[in-house]
Amino acid sequence: MSLSQAPTNDLDHAQLAAILRWYADMGVDIAVEETPRNRFLETPRAPAPASPEPAQRAAPALPRTPEVFSASPGRAIDAAAALSVEAAIQSARESAARATTLEELRAELMGFEGCILKRTASNFVFAEGDPKARIMFVGDAPGDEDDRQGQAFIGKPGRLMDKMLKSIGLERQKVWLSNLLPWRIPGKRAATPQEIAVCLPFLMRQIELIQPAILVCLGNEAALTLMDIKGGVIRGRGVWRELRPEGVPPIRAIATLAPSYMLRAVASKRDAWRDMLEIRKAFASLG
């Protein structure tokens, strides 16, 4: 049944809102008609000016407002897009460096326009917890409920996270909870390297301001980005490594499974429990 034939008149406001929310979660952000239309033919494009001789060709100018281009299947990122990504990364570095407190960093990140994920997310999701925490947990990206509420680690994954913390004598008010990306990824796809690269300076600045003694990566992208675990978190979890970020004392780091993954693969909770015991032991040794 097409959308135009769907009996939407029989649905109440809550049901219609649920349908729209489902489409948004799946990455659908535009409406289409029954008959395909080639909009490129409707508005003729002006002919491109003749290219100058190679010796006279000027270098492409960087855009005033950097924009990150995510490569879709079959579409390579061209030179202009690569320049735009580099400009966005540089803008992120400058923005993050200006922040001298976590509140300033939150404001800088909220106003940052260099990541395309900001356009599809419902809410900006910053970190939360104790700014003086000695242990920091970093997930991959906000989940659906996080995006709707604008809060990190809530919904079913968040409730499981609370239980994980409680099992080793911690609670979210005593740790620092963050994500690699502050905006939800549409369509439940993986983050692109470009999206991670432009947001990473803000996370590294968080680490500089918090200066945790222990860092726990939750999920594949966080483990790959921060700990260089290329074989995936399932194979690389449970092993301690030492991170040496610039300007920060050495940090003990370990990777474990994301709560959202454990909800899908219940048997994996056994491995995560072993990791949590290691984390409890390391945290207790801090004194």
Task: List per-block mean pLDDT (blocks of 10 residues) for the chain, which spans 287 residues.
Answer: 50 68 59 56 45 34 32 43 83 97 98 95 97 97 96 95 96 97 94 96 97 97 94 93 90 97 95 97 93
pLDDT at 246 (0 to 100): 83
Is 7 part of a structural domain of the chain? no
Is 23 part of a structural domain of the chain? no
Distance CA(219)–CA(22), nearest Å, equals 24
Is 203 part of a structural domain of the chain? yes
Is 51 part of a structural domain of the chain? no
Paired with 255 in beta bridges are: 217
φ/ψ of 79, rounded to 5, equals: -65, -40
Is 0.75 topped by the overall pTM?
no
pLDDT at 55 (0 to 100): 34
pLDDT at 24 (0 to 100): 61
Is 105 part of a structural domain of the chain? yes
242: domain CATH number is 3.40.470.10
Is 52 part of a structural domain of the chain? no
Is 117 part of a structural domain of the chain? yes
In the chain, how many domains are there?
1
Is 146 part of a structural domain of the chain? yes
What is the residue range of 196's domain?
Answer: 98-284
pLDDT at 83 (0 to 100): 63
Are residues 198 and 68 in contact, defined by beta-carbon separation less than 8 angstroms?
A: yes
